[in-house]
C-alpha cells in the first residue's frame, strides 16, 4: 500500500439551478418525506438502489451530463422546486407543538439525548435493532415538534454487521467499512477550519475523538469518532469500529467515550445542555463527568454537584433481561477510574457504591444502578415493562412497596411519517384531517378512518402486499445467487409467495427469548395451513442474531432449512441482512405481524406498532406494548398473559404454539378469506379500521416525546433553574438538607397509631391519629402518610394507597401528632399502617433509598 501525502475530496459540480440538492441530502428530513425520496429516486432509480438509498453518494456517482440534462427537464425542476419549498416551510415553521405550548417560557431547556445507536436511515449504518430505531424516531419527532434537543452518540467505522447465510443457512457476518465521505455526515471544525476534537482519560494516556454532525430536520445529532491519528495505539483507533463489539474492556472504553466524551463534545461545540436523557445505561458515565465539572468549575461540594446532576438527568430503562444491563468488574473500574475517584473526592468504596450491585456470590458495578441512583426521573418503555422494572430494581429502594418504586412507564412509539407507506399516506390525505401528519396523537383525527371506503383501504393495502412479495422474490434471488445454488433453484425464486395470500411477518433480533421458531413446533399442523390451496398462508422472516449467539443463529438455520421442504418452499422466505429498508417493506405489506416472546421479557417492541398505520393487524403474546394495546376486536393475543418459570419453558412453548395454531386455524385464516359478495373481506377490514382508530393516536413517538417533555424535561428544568439561582444557593441548601437528613433520620420513629378496630359499615368514616418522633427534623421536612389497602391471603396489604396526614399537635421534644380521616369505600378486610418519608421541593420522589420509616 502507498500512503498519500495529501488528499482532496472531489464533489460533483451541481448546476446552479440544482445547487440545493446538497443541502437536501445533508438533512435527513428527506428520509421521512416521500416527495423528497421520489425526487432522489428520479435522478437514477438503479443508482438509488445501488447506493442503499444514499443521495449524497448517488450524487457523487452521477455523470455531469446527467446532472446538466436535469435542468432542462421541466417536470423534474418543478418537483425539485416543490421539495425545496416544503423543506423551507418545515425548517422555518413557527406553528409547532412546542412553540404553541411553551413558546411563552422565559427560558427554554436544551435536552441532550444520549444513545449508543441511532437508526435513522438505511444508508447510515449506526444501529443494530429496536433501541437504535427508537432513538432515531425520538429525534425525528423532537424535530417535528421543534423541541430544543440534540442527540449524542458514536459514529462507527463498521457499524453492527452485515448478515449473509452460508449454504447450510447458518448466519455469517461481514463488516464493510463506512465511507464517511459519501455519507450525510459533516465533520465539525473550529474557526480556523481544524477538526474539533475532545479527549477522555484512558489508563496512562488520553483517548482523542473528532465530532461529526448528522442533521435530522431541526435537530442536530453529534457522533464521536476515535479513528484519528492523534491516537497512537491501534486499539484506541479501533475503539469506534463496531457497535456492541469486543470484550468488556472495549465496552467500558466505548462507554467512557460515549458518556464522558459526549459531555465534553457538547461543551466543545458551545452547547450548554440543561437536561441529560440517557437512553439505556450505556452512557451513564456522563453523570460522573457532570459532577466533576460542577465541582471543579462551580467550586461545589460533591453533594451539591450530585444534587444538580440528579435533578437534571433522565434514565430510560430498555430491557427486563438481566444480561441486557451493562455491568463491569471492579478491576475495570479501578483500571479506568482511580483518578476520577480522587477528582470527585470519593473513596474507592464510595465511588463503587454509586453503581454497586450484588450478584449473589460476587458484586459488579452496574451502569443501570448508577443511573437510577443519580437521576431524578426513571422510566420503563411500556406499562408492563414499568411494572417489571419496579420489581427488578426494588432492592435499590428497601422497604418501598413494589408498585411505588419510583420508576414510571412511558410506552414507546414509532415515527409515523417514517413508517407509513406513500400509498397509505395519500389515502389518509384524502380522507383524514391534515393534522394526521403533525398531530398524530389526536384521537379525533384518527376517527376519520371511518370515512375511508373499505374498497380503497383494502386495495391500498393489497398493493403494498404485492410490492412486498416482489421485493422478497428479488432479495431471495440475490441470496441464492450469492450462495451458488443451481440456476433452477434461482429461477424458482420467482414463484415463491403468493401476492393474494394471507401474509404473516416476523422480523426482529433473533434473541432466544423472542422464539422465532415457535411456529415450527408442530410441522404437521403448519403443513396443513400452508398447503391449503383455497386459503393459502405464507410467512416472511427477517432478523439478525448477535454474532456470539449460537442458539439464535440456529433458529435462523432452522427457518431456512424448513423453507427448503417441498411443501414449504413457496410459503416461507427468510430475508437476509434485516435493515430499515427491509423493515419498511415488511411492516407496510404484511397482513399480520407475529410476535411471540416469553412474557415478560419483551420491554416494549415497536415493530408491531408500525403495521397499525399500514393496514396490518397484530397477533402477539401479551407482552411489551401489546399487553396494554390488545382488545379482542383489533387483533389477537396468544394466550392470556400467563408467565412461566425457566423450568416450564418447554411446557410453555408447547402450550403457546398450540394456542397460535388454534388462532390461525379457527380465527385468523377464516376471517381473512371470509369475503362479501363484492369480494371484500368486510369483517377483516372493520378490524383494521378499529385497530387504526384505537391504536394510531397512542403508539407514536409524537405522543411519547410529548410525555417525556411534560413529565421529565420541563419539570426537571424548573427544579434546576431554582437550584442554580443566586450562585447555586438552592443546590447548596438542598445538599445541606440531605446531609442533615442522613445524620438525623435514624431518630425518626412512629411511636403510636390510634385507629378504631373491629367491624364497621361501608361508607362510615373514622379519624386516625399517629404520634411521630421527628427528632431534629421539622414537620415540613417529612410526609407522614396513612397507608391502607385490602389484605391478601397471608395478611399483607396488597398494592396499598397512601394519603398525607396533617399535623394536629406538637407534643414537645420533637414529637408530633398527625391526623387524617378515612372513609371505608369497599367491603372486606382492610389493613392500615403509617409511614414517614422525607420531603423537600427538590426531591423528585419521597422514596429516597433507606429513608422510609414504617409503624
Query: Would you tell me how many other CB atoms lie within 10 Å of the CB of residue 203?
Result: 12
Report which secondary-structure segment, H or E, holds 539: strand 537-542
**For 524-541, how does the pLDDT look when each residue is reduced to its tens digit (9 = 90+)?**
999 999 999 999 999 999
| Residue 7: per-residue pLDDT | 61
pLDDT band at 1 (very low <50, low <70, confident <90, very high): low
The pTM for the full model equals 0.96
User: Whose CA is closest to 157, among 255, 224, 216, 215?
Assistant: 224
614 vs 609: CA distance, rounded Å: 10
| Residue 828: per-residue pLDDT | 85
Average pLDDT estimate for 782-801:
92
466 vs 590: CA distance, rounded Å: 10
| Residue 690: per-residue pLDDT | 98
| Residue 846: per-residue pLDDT | 87
Q: What angle do CA 365, 368, 371 make, to 5 degrees?
A: 105
User: Whose CA is closest to 105, among 148, 66, 59, 41?
Assistant: 148
Rounded to 10 degrees, the C-alpha dihedral 318/625/554/529 comes to: 180
Compute the Cα dihedral for 759, 765, 767, 770 and give only its sign.
positive
User: Whose CA is closest to 695, among 430, 411, 426?
Assistant: 411
714 vs 312: CA distance, rounded Å: 10
- For residues 202 and 336, is the Cβ–Cβ distance under 8 A? yes
126 vs 214: CA distance, rounded Å: 11
- For residues 123 and 60, is the Cβ–Cβ distance under 8 A? no
Higher-pLDDT residue of 115 and 760 is 115
Q: Is 650 helix (H, G, I), strand (E, B) or coil?
A: helix
| Residue 793: per-residue pLDDT | 87
**For 49-104, how does the pLDDT look when each residue is reduced to its tens digit (9 = 90+)?**
999 999 999 999 999 999 999 999 999 999 999 999 999 999 999 999 999 999 99
**For 343-380, how does the pLDDT look when each residue is reduced to its tens digit (9 = 90+)?**
999 999 999 999 999 998 999 999 999 999 999 999 99
414: Cα separation from own chain's centroid: 9
> In the block, which residue shows the cell 369483517?
683
Report which secondary-structure segment, H or E, holds 594: strand 592-595
Compute the Cα dihedral for 278, 284, 285, 291 and give only its sign.
positive
444 vs 446: CA distance, rounded Å: 5
852 vs 745: CA distance, rounded Å: 9
Number of residues that this document lists for the chain: 855
**For 725-739, how does the pLDDT look when each residue is reduced to its tens digit (9 = 90+)?**
999 999 999 999 999
| Residue 260: per-residue pLDDT | 98
Listed in sequence order, the residues at least 6 apart from 208 whose beta carbon sits closer than 8 Å to its beta carbon are 197, 198, 199, 226, 228, 230, 231, 236
Report which secondary-structure segment, H or E, holds 467: helix 454-483
Query: Would you tell me how many other CB atoms lie within 10 Å of the CB of residue 490?
Result: 17
| Residue 5: per-residue pLDDT | 59
Q: What angle do CA 827, 833, 839 make, to 5 degrees?
A: 125
790 vs 772: CA distance, rounded Å: 25
User: Whose CA is closest to 474, among 489, 493, 499, 500?
Assistant: 493
Report in angstroms the alpha-carbon separations of 676 from 456, 626, 671. Answer: 15, 30, 11
Average pLDDT estimate for 248-267:
98
Query: Would you tell me how many other CB atoms lie within 10 Å of the CB of residue 399?
Result: 13
Q: What is the DSSP string of 383-414?
A: HHHHHHHHHHTGGGSTTS-GGGSS-EE----B
Percent of the chain with pLDDT over 70: 99
Query: Would you tell me how many other CB atoms lie within 10 Å of the CB of residue 58?
Result: 24
**For 556-592, how does the pLDDT look when each residue is reduced to its tens digit (9 = 90+)?**
999 999 999 999 999 999 999 999 999 999 999 999 9
**For 194-238, how does the pLDDT look when each residue is reduced to its tens digit (9 = 90+)?**
999 999 999 999 999 999 999 999 999 999 999 999 999 999 999
**For 487-521, how does the pLDDT look when each residue is reduced to its tens digit (9 = 90+)?**
988 888 899 999 999 999 999 999 999 999 999 99
**For 378-435, how does the pLDDT look when each residue is reduced to its tens digit (9 = 90+)?**
999 999 999 999 999 999 999 999 999 999 999 999 999 999 999 999 999 999 999 9
pLDDT band at 762 (very low <50, low <70, confident <90, very high): confident
Q: What is the DSSP string of 14-36?
A: --GGGTTHHHHHTBGGGGG-HHH
Q: Specify the DSSP class assigned to residue 176.
A: P
| Residue 492: per-residue pLDDT | 87
Listed in sequence order, the residues at least 6 apart from 632 whose beta carbon sits closer than 8 Å to its beta carbon are none
Q: What is the mean pLDDT of the chain?
A: 95
- Side-chain-side CA neighbours of residue 805 (13 Å): 30
Report in angstroms the alpha-carbon separations of 784 from 543, 753, 754, 791, 793. Answer: 52, 12, 14, 22, 27
Whether the per-residue pLDDT at 27 is higher than 90: the answer is yes
Rounded to 10 degrees, the C-alpha dihedral 234/237/238/239 comes to: 120
Compute the Cα dihedral for 21, 27, 31, 34 and give only its sign.
negative
187 vs 231: CA distance, rounded Å: 18
- Side-chain-side CA neighbours of residue 116 (13 Å): 26
> In the block, which residue shows the cell 369475503?
675
User: Whose CA is closest to 407, among 389, 384, 381?
Assistant: 389
> In the block, which residue shows the cell 403468493?
498
480 vs 379: CA distance, rounded Å: 45
Average pLDDT estimate for 274-283:
97
User: Whose CA is closest to 149, among 218, 211, 223?
Assistant: 218
Determine how β-strand 537-542 pairs with β-strand 502-507. parallel
Amino acid at each position: 500500500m502507498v500512503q498519500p501525502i495529501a488528499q482532496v475530496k472531489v464533489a460533483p459540480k451541481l448546476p446552479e439551478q440544482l445547487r440545493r440538492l446538497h443541502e437536501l441530502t445533508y438533512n435527513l428530513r428527506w428520509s421521512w418525506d416521500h416527495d423528497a425520496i421520489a425526487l432522489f429516486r428520479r435522478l437514477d432509480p438503479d443508482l438509488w438502489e445501488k447506493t442503499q438509498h444514499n443521495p449524497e453518494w448517488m450524487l457523487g456517482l452521477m455523470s455531469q451530463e446527467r446532472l446538466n440534462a436535469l435542468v432542462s427537464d421541466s417536470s423534474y425542476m418543478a418537483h425539485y422546486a416543490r421539495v425545496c419549498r416544503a423543506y423551507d416551510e418545515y425548517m422555518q415553521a413557527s406553528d409547532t407543538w412546542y412553540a404553541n405550548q411553551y413558546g411563552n417560557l422565559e427560558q427554554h431547556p436544551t435536552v441532550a439525548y444520549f444513545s449508543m445507536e441511532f437508526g435513522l436511515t438505511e444508508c447510515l449504518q449506526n444501529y443494530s435493532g429496536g433501541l437504535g430505531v427508537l432513538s432515531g424516531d425520538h429525534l425525528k419527532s423532537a424535530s417535528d415538534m421543534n423541541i430544543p434537543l440534540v442527540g449524542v452518540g458514536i459514529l462507527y467505522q463498521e457499524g453492527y454487521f452485515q448478515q449473509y447465510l452460508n449454504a447450510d443457512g447458518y448466519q455469517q457476518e461481514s463488516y464493510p467499512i463506512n465511507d464517511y465521505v459519501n455519507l450525510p455526515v459533516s465533520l465539525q471544525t473550529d474557526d480556523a477550519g481544524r477538526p474539533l476534537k475532545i479527549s477522555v482519560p484512558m489508563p496512562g494516556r488520553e483517548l482523542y475523538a473528532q465530532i461529526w454532525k448528522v442533521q435530522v430536520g431541526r435537530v442536530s445529532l453529534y457522533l464521536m469518532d476515535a479513528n484519528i491519528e492523534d491516537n497512537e495505539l491501534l486499539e484506541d483507533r479501533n475503539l469506534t469500529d463496531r457497535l456492541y463489539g469486543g470484550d468488556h474492556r472495549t465496552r467500558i472504553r466505548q462507554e467512557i467515550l460515549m458518556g464522558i466524551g459526549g459531555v465534553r463534545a457538547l461543551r466543545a461545540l458551545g452547547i450548554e445542555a440543561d437536561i441529560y436523557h440517557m437512553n439505556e445505561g450505556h452512557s451513564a458515565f456522563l453523570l460522573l463527568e457532570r459532577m466533576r465539572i460542577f465541582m471543579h468549575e462551580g467550586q461545589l461540594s460533591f453533594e451539591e454537584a450530585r444534587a444538580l446532576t440528579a435533578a437534571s438527568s433522565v434514565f430510560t430503562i430498555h430491557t427486563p433481561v438481566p444480561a441486557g444491563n451493562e455491568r463491569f468488574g471492579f478491576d475495570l473500574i479501578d483500571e479506568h477510574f482511580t483518578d476520577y475517584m480522587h477528582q470527585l473526592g470519593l473513596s474507592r468504596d464510595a465511588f463503587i457504591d454509586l453503581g454497586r450491585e450484588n450478584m449473589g456470590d460476587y458484586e459488579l458495578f452496574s451502569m443501570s444502578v448508577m443511573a437510577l441512583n443519580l437521576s431524578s426521573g426513571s422510566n420503563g418503555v411500556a406499562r408492563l415493562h414499568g411494572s417489571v422494572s419496579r420489581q427488578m430494581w426494588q432492592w435499590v429502594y428497601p422497604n418501598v412497596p413494589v408498585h411505588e418504586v419510583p420508576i414510571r412507564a412511558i410506552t414507546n412509539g414509532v415515527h409515523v411519517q417514517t413508517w407509513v407507506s406513500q400509498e397509505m399516506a395519500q389515502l389518509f390525505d384524502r380522507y383524514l384531517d391534515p393534522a394526521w401528519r403533525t398531530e398524530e396523537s389526536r384521537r379525533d383525527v384518527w376517527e376519520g378512518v371511518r370515512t375511508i371506503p373499505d374498497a380503497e383501504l383494502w386495495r391500498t393495502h393489497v398493493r403494498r402486499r404485492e410490492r412486498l412479495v416482489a421485493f422478497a422474490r428479488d432479495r431471495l434471488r440475490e441470496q441464492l445467487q450469492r450462495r451458488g445454488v443451481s440456476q433452477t433453484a434461482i429461477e424458482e425464486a420467482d414463484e415463491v409467495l403468493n401476492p393474494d395470500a394471507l401474509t404473516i411477518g416476523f422480523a426482529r433480533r433473533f434473541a432466544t427469548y423472542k422464539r422465532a421458531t415457535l411456529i415450527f413446533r408442530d410441522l404437521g399442523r403448519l403443513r396443513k395451513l400452508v398447503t391449503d390451496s383455497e386459503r393459502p398462508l405464507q410467512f416472511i422472516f427477517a432478523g439478525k442474531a448477535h454474532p456470539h449467539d449460537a442458539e439464535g443463529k440456529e433458529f435462523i438455520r432452522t427457518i431456512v432449512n424448513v423453507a427448503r421442504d417441498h411443501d414449504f418452499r413457496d410459503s416461507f422466505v427468510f430475508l437476509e441482512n434485516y435493515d430499515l429498508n427491509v423493515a419498511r417493506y415488511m411492516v407496510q405489506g404484511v397482513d399480520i405481524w407475529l410476535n411471540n416472546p416469553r412474557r415478560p421479557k419483551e420491554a416494549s417492541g415497536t415493530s408491531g406498532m408500525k403495521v397499525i398505520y399500514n393496514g396490518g393487524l397484530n397477533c402477539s403474546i401479551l407482552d411489551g406494548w401489546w399487553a396494554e394495546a390488545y382488545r379482542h376486536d383489533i387483533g389477537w393475543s396468544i394466550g392470556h398473559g400467563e408467565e412461566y418459570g425457566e423450568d416450564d419453558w418447554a411446557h410453555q412453548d408447547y402450550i403457546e404454539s398450540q394456542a397460535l395454531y388454534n388462532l390461525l386455524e379457527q380465527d385468523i385464516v377464516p376471517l381473512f378469506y371470509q369475503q362479501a359478495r363484492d369480494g371484500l373481506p368486510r369483517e377483516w377490514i372493520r378490524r383494521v379500521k378499529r385497530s387504526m382508530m384505537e391504536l394510531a393516536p397512542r403508539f407514536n413517538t409524537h405522543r411519547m416525546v410529548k410525555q417525556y417533555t411534560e413529565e421529565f424535561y420541563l419539570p426537571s428544568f424548573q427544579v434546576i433553574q431554582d437550584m442554580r439561582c443566586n450562585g447555586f444557593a438552592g443546590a447548596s441548601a438542598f445538599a445541606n438538607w440531605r446531609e442533615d437528613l442522613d445524620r438525623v433520620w435514624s431518630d425518626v420513629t412512629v411511636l403510636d397509631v390510634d385507629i378504631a378496630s373491629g367491624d364497621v359499615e361501608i361508607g362510615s368514616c373514622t379519624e386516625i391519629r399517629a404520634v411521630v418522633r421527628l427528632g431534629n427534623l421539622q414537620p415540613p421536612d417529612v410526609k407522614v402518610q396513612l397507608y391502607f389497602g385490602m389484605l391478601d391471603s397471608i395478611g399483607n396489604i396488597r398494592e396499598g394507597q397512601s394519603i398525607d396526614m396533617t399535623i394536629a399537635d406538637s407534643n414537645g421534644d420533637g414529637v408530633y401528632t398527625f391526623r387524617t380521616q378515612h372513609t371505608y369505600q369497599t367491603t372486606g378486610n382492610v389493613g392500615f399502617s403509617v409511614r414517614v418519608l422525607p420531603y423537600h421541593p427538590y426531591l423528585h420522589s419521597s422514596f429516597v433509598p433507606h429513608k422510609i420509616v414504617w409503624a
